[in-house]
Amino acid sequence: MTFHAQILTLYPEMFPGLLGASLAGKALEQGLWSCEAINMRDFATDRHRSVDDTPAGGGAGMVLRADILGKAVDFASARMAEKLPSPSGEGLGVGAFNKRGTETTAPTPTPPLKGRGYKAPVIALTPRGTPLTQARVREIASGPGVTLLCGRFEGFDERIFEARDIEEVSIGDYILSGGEVAATVLLDACIRLLPGVMGASCSGDDESFETGLLEYPHYTRPVEWEGRTIPEVLRSGDHAKIAAWREEQAEAITRLRRPDLWERHGGASGQSPSGAQ
C-alpha cells in the first residue's frame, strides 16, 4: 500500500522538492509513496488571504491563526481518510501522483492493511517539539501515511494543539526559517524505510541509531590514496576479525562524539538497557 504524505504549507511549490529526485523520487514514480501539498492560504477567508496575525500580548513576528489552521487540518484529515482503506479493507485507495503531487490516475481499491496502523498522525514541525528519533521514524513509516503541518513566522496559535490531535516534532536544536525543510527531512527518513524503496541493498538495518552506535569507518579502492592505505584488517579476508574491528571502531567513535548515545547503549559494559534505540 502506498504511504501517503500530506503537507500543509504556505509554500506548496517546495514539495516534493528534493524528494522528487534520487531514491525518494524513484519511489514516488513507482507509486511506493504519494505526496500532496496543501496550501494553507486556500483556507483564508478575507480578501488578502491572510493566514497570520500579530501576537496577543505584543512582541515580534506573526502567529499562524488557529481558525485557518483548524480548517486546513480538518480538510487534510478528511482527505487522508478518503485515501485510506477502512480497517475492513474497503476504501478508495490511493491514485498515482506525479512529481508535482497532482493525482494522475483514478484511485484504485486498496487491499486490507497488514501490520500498519489505520490512523495517519498529524505532526507539526516546530523547534519546541519532541526531538525526532529513528524509532519514531520507523513507527511513522510503518503506518499508512502522515500529515505534516509546516509553520512560518513565530509559530502556531497554541489553541490548535488543544483543539486537535497534533504531535509537535523538532529535527534538532536550531531554528529553520520554516517547517518545510524539517518536513522534507522527516519524509526522507520515512521513505527510505518503506517496503521496496531500498531494494536489495537494504543496508538500513545495520546503520547508526538502529544498532545504538554510530557507524564504523568505510573504505573503498584505491588501496592507497595520498599516502593513506586502507586498514590492513579490512584486506585480511578474516570476517570475524573484520566484524570485531568494526565493532571496536563504532564504539570508539560513539564514545568520543556522542557520549549520550554511548550511555544509552550501555557504556563500557556493552549491556544495552531495554528500550535503547
Q: Residue positions in the annotated binding site?
A: 151, 171-176
Query: Closer to ligand ADE at the Cβ: 67 or 168?
Result: 168
For 26, the grid coordinates are 524513484
In the complex with ligand ADE, which residue's Cβ is closer, 168 or 247?
Answer: 168
Footprint (CB under 6 A) of ligand ADE, residues 102-161: 125-127
| String marking each residue 78-107 x if it binds ligand ADE according to CB under 6 A | ------------------------------
Annotated binding site for S-adenosyl-L-methionine: 151, 171-176
- Give the span between the Cα atoms of 199 and 189, in whole angstroms: 15
Q: Smallest distance, Å, CB 174 to ligand ADE?
A: 5
Question: Backbone phi, then psi, for 87, in 5-degree steps?
Answer: -55, -25
Query: 28 or 149: whose CB is closer to ligand ADE?
Result: 149
Compose the 162-201 pattern: x for residues touching ligand ADE by CB under 6 A, - for all others. Answer: --------xxx-xxx--x--x-------------------
What whole-number distance in Å separates Cα of residue 246 and Cα of residue 32?
A: 34
Rank residues 176 and 214 by Cβ distance to ligand ADE and give the closer one: 176
Contact 214, 261 (CB under 8 A): yes
Beta strand spans in the chain (E)? 3-9, 33-39, 52-53, 63-64, 122-131, 145-150, 155-156, 167-170, 224-225, 228-229
* Strands annotated E in 40-166: 52-53, 63-64, 122-131, 145-150, 155-156
Cβ 180 to ligand ADE shortest distance, Å: 9
Instruction: Report the distance separating Cα 10 and Cα 8, nearest Å.
Output: 7
Give percent helix, percent strand, percent coil of the chain, each to the nearest 5.
35, 15, 45
Instruction: Report in angstroms how near the CB of residue 213 gets to ligand ADE at its nearest.
Output: 25
Task: Examine residue 44 and tell whether it contacts ligand ADE (CB under 6 A).
Answer: no
Shortest distance, CB of residue 176 to ligand ADE, whole angstroms?
A: 4
How are strands ordered across the β-sheet holding 155-156?
52-53, 63-64, 155-156
Q: Which is nearer to ligand ADE, 72 or 171 (CB)?
A: 171
Which lies closer to ligand ADE via its Cβ, residue 110 or residue 170?
A: 170
Distances (CA, A) of 229 to 1, 233, 242: 46, 11, 16
Q: Distance between CA atoms of 1 and 85, rounded to whole angstroms?
A: 10
Cell numbers that stand for 240 in this block: 570475524
Residue 155 Cβ vs ligand ADE, minimum distance, rounded to whole Å: 9
Residues in contact with ligand ADE, total (CB under 6 A)? 11
In the complex, what is the shortest distance from the CB of residue 117 to ligand ADE, in angstroms, rounded to a whole number? 23
Interacting residues with ligand ADE (CB under 6 A): 125-127, 170-172, 174-176, 179, 182
